[in-house]
Structure 1
Amino acid sequence: MNEVMQNILTRRSVRKFTDEPIPKDILEDLVNAALHAPSGKGRQTWKFTVITNKDAISRLVDAIGTELKRNGYDMYHPTAIIMPSNIRDGIWSKEDNACALENIFLAAHSYGIGSVWINQMQNICDTPAIRTILNDFGVPEDHVVFGLAALGYPAPDAPIAPIKRTGTVSYIE
């Protein structure tokens, strides 16, 4: 099996991380992978915000937990977040960001970094508390965060979901 297929087939969501920081050059590679994702008509209207500051991560996590009324929400304690945002009214904004996130997840896995898709943001981006944080992070006012990548090195005891891939495939030959 080739290296790309091996990477795709072995990637799993990781929901428990160590405290070891991810080197900046690797984070830059992950963003570069995202920038090479396909986008509708090649418009690339996205913006990527990389957060490694522990206080900034805690501020965002706490605000999300409050908005969702989920006491103890912790986003699995990532050491880094890559948060793509895209124009609210873009026809392909959500799809473009999903492609970028998948590239991030696969690139992270190739470096031995765990990742998990956090998807709660899209419905709470414009609440006052969240929008204030997004503004402080430089996310444009007309952008929505459809999902983000919570990242970190997998903890040794991180549970890994078993492989269970199902679906229907039809070949028209």
Structure 2
Amino acid sequence: MNEVIQNILTRRSVRTYQEKQISDDDLNAILEAAKFAPSGMGKQSWHFTAVQNKEIMDKLVSAVKEALQSSEVEQLKKMGNNPAFNPFYHAPTIILTAYDRNAQTGVSDCAVALQNMFLAAHSLNIGSCWIHILAITGNDPKVRSILTELGIPEDYDLSGTAALGYNSKEAPKAAPRKEGTVTIIK
């Protein structure tokens, strides 16, 4: 089988990570793959912020949990009140994707860039998981303050986050694919 298709078919979301940090070379390769994702009208409306500092991640986790505690959605409130909850699954590296809120295709641009990150990570034997929590909590004042400190422009909104690290367990099996999701018209 073609190695690109094999990479796509074998990538899984990883939610348990070793403490070992990924190398700078691997991080740079993953970010480069993100920058080469297609984007609407070639605008590249994204901004990527890689965080490997545990203190900063802990600060961000605390702010996210506090924001969730005031959510009107009961499931989110429970997550925020759970002392063991870490939205990034304790990954040693996270990459925040943000987009210019004036860009018509910003969310889609970030989604494609994230997929490139995940596929690049998998090809390097690095586990990954798409985290959506900052798209939900990114406008909370405390969370936004941290994002601004991290260099994310004020006029950018958060899309997904890539959690990255070495898997501490065997990769999960693929969920069965839903039937009836493809139509071919000739």
Cα shift readout 1:38-70 (whole Å, capped 9, x = no counterpart): 100000121110101111111112211221122
Q: Which one of 93, 118, 125 corresponds to residue 105 of structure 1?
A: 118
Q: 1:150 aligns with which of 137, 149, 163?
A: 163
Structure 2-normalised TM-score? 0.88
What is the alpha-carbon distance in structure 2 between the residues aligned to residue 106 and residue 123 of structure 1?
Answer: 24
* Partner residue in 1 for 2:183: 170
Over the aligned positions, Cα root-mean-square deviation in angstroms equals 1.2
- Structure 2 gaps of 5+ residues are 70-79
Identity of counterpart residues, as a percentage?
43
Q: In structure 2, how many angstroms separate the alpha carbons of the residues matched to 1:22 and 1:68?
A: 29
Partner SS state of residue 38, structure 2: coil
1:134 aligns with 2:147: yes
TM-score normalised by the chain length of structure 1: 0.95
Alpha-carbon shift at residue 90 of structure 1 (Å): 1.7
One-letter identity of the residue aligned with 1:171: I
Corresponding residue for residue 129 of structure 2: 116
State how far apart, in whole Å, the 1-side matches of 2:128 and 2:172 are.
12
Q: What secondary structure, in the 3-state scheme, does the structure 1 residue paired with 2:34 have?
A: helix
Runs of at least 5 residues in structure 1 that lack an aligned partner in the other structure: none
Paired residues in the alignment total 172
Letter of the structure 2 residue corresponding to residue 163 of structure 1: A
CA distance in 2, matches of 1:85, 1:116: 17
- Counterparts of 1:151 and 1:62 in 2: how far apart (Å)? 19
